[in-house]
Amino acid sequence: MKKIIIIFSVLLYAGLCAGAQELSQLKVEADSAYAREDYEQAQQKYLQVADSVQDASVCYNLGCCYYRMDDMARAVLWFERAYLLNPGDGDIRFNLDMARSKTIDRITPRHEMFFVSWYRWLTNIMSLQQWAVTCIILFLLALVSLSVFFFSRRYSMRKFGFYLTFVFIFLTILGNVCAFQQRSYLRNRNAAIIVSPAVTVKSTPSDSGNDLFVLHEGTKVNISDNEMKEWCEVKVADGKMGWIQKKDLEVI
């Protein structure tokens, strides 16, 4: 029995290594195709990698390919996916804004309270992994400050360590809140991009419903009701809501 387990473990490890090597080779081939401006081949290779791993750089490169191919809807889609995985990357934000500027719809978002905007900005400073590392560092600094409070003989140092401990504990808690929010963004993906050239938003989940307004490819929407098989209710940044068919959008 022990020999079977060992053989199975070796085969599993070999399979994982072979899969990782294949993905690495696909990534190299995609990078090479992009460098020689063969964007269609690069896009196909990057898609194969993206099907197996969630990587911000792969999503970003796919967005660049679609941008070069003048497919702004999918350029926005993949830049949004890259931004979701690594919101602190300035290049991703810049290229996402560039792709958005080439879409048709110009939607003015509804005004939100300043503390909501501040919290959203703070959460998106770093990715989930970066927040996790930051929280560990802050917690270790809190332990160091606490040790200064307990073991220092000077009153001023003990006082300094006491207050600094509370500061680091507060920052650790805040960092964990932001990390959990980032995790929620990754798990509950309720945002989507319109990929059809033009979509008429309906008042009910039916072709016979009243026409409310029209959305064009590249527009970002939030899915508020996804229970039906072919239709979903969406909400636009300016607050308007309605129903569209699921085939007309792709979830970020």
217: its two tokens:
């490819």
Q: What is the pLDDT of residues 210-236, one digit of tens each?
A: 999 999 999 999 999 888 889 999 999
Domain boundary among 78, 101, 124: 101
Task: Identify the residue whose tokens are 């309605």.
Answer: 242
Clarify whether residues 183 and 121 are in a common domain.
yes
Average pLDDT for 128-144: 93
Q: What is the CATH number of the domain that holds 45?
A: 1.25.40.10
Clarify whether residues 57 and 90 are in a common domain.
yes
Count CB atoms within 10 A of the CB of residue 192. 23
Clarify whether residues 63 and 78 are in a common domain.
yes
Q: Is residue 106 part of a domain?
A: no
Q: Is the pTM of this model over 0.85?
A: no
Q: What is the pLDDT of residues 61-75, one digit of tens each?
A: 999 999 999 999 999
Q: Is residue 108 part of a domain?
A: no
Query: Roughly what angle, to the nearest 10 degrees, separates helices 155-187 and 72-85?
Result: 150
Clarify whether residues 71 and 7 are in a common domain.
yes
Which residues constitute the domain of residue 240? 191-251
Clarify whether residues 83 and 166 are in a common domain.
no
Q: How many residues does the chain have?
A: 252
Amino acid letter, residue 31: D
H/E stretch holding 179 reads: helix 155-187
In contact, 195 and 103? CB cutoff 8 Å: no
Domain boundary among 139, 157, 187: 187
Give residue 234's Cα distance to chain centre. 19
